[in-house]
Structure 1
Amino acid sequence: MPEKRGGPVPCRVTVCRDCCCGSAKVTGIDHDEQVAFLRGRVPVRVSACLDVCAQANVIVVQPSTEGRAAGARPVWLGLVNDSAGTEDVADWVRAGGPGVAPMPGVLDLYVFAPPRRPTTGRSRGR
């Protein structure tokens, strides 16, 4: 159920789908099925390239309003190229996500720190 504008924001995921993520360059996973699976369970936004192609497929878990109030920041997950990892992400988000529910230990394998600045010429203002 969507939140009213200005109301609490739920935990949600952003899924990168552009030049590498979601493309034939990443094999062994049905990219459309991955997005459909997540959309059937949690709020999802699909993004253009997040400039971390070496980590394809990238999923960013955005904390809810409650999670942000607890000090949580977005969690970047890379190489999410299997259904088990995708299920673990969905389960965590449904439980509340960053700042609300403990991250399943298995997701530690996917966590990475994004670069502070875009690594390609696609950045705004260039």
Structure 2
Amino acid sequence: MKLVSIIISLSIIFISSIASARDAARDLRRMVGYTIISSQTVDSIIEGKFGAKLLKLSDGSVFKVDLLLDPLSFTDVIVFAKAPSKELIAQYKGKLPEYMMYSYKLLIDNEIYDANPN
């Protein structure tokens, strides 16, 4: 009986690790072209309109993110950025600051979120 429970436990662990690896691969596919630009912690959270939240990070930067749950203060945040295409830069040169043309993603509590600088 004890051997059966050990085998069942190991099977559950094995199956969950395979599912976790698939989720990680799916998330990584969405990150092609992005570069880690910063590693910070959450300093404070400001409630925005329509469920969006403004995350102020330890370096003073602020990002608008659609979060379901609030991360705790001092939660690690990895900031990723993807440079805009040359065509986009040429189209909006002088109309938008270049940092607003970048695409940003934040890794918070092992979840990746789209973000906009604020």
TM-score (norm 2): 0.27
> Which has the larger helix fraction?
2
TM-score (norm 1): 0.26
Answer with 1 or 2: which has the greater Rg.
Answer: 2
> Which has the larger strand fraction?
2
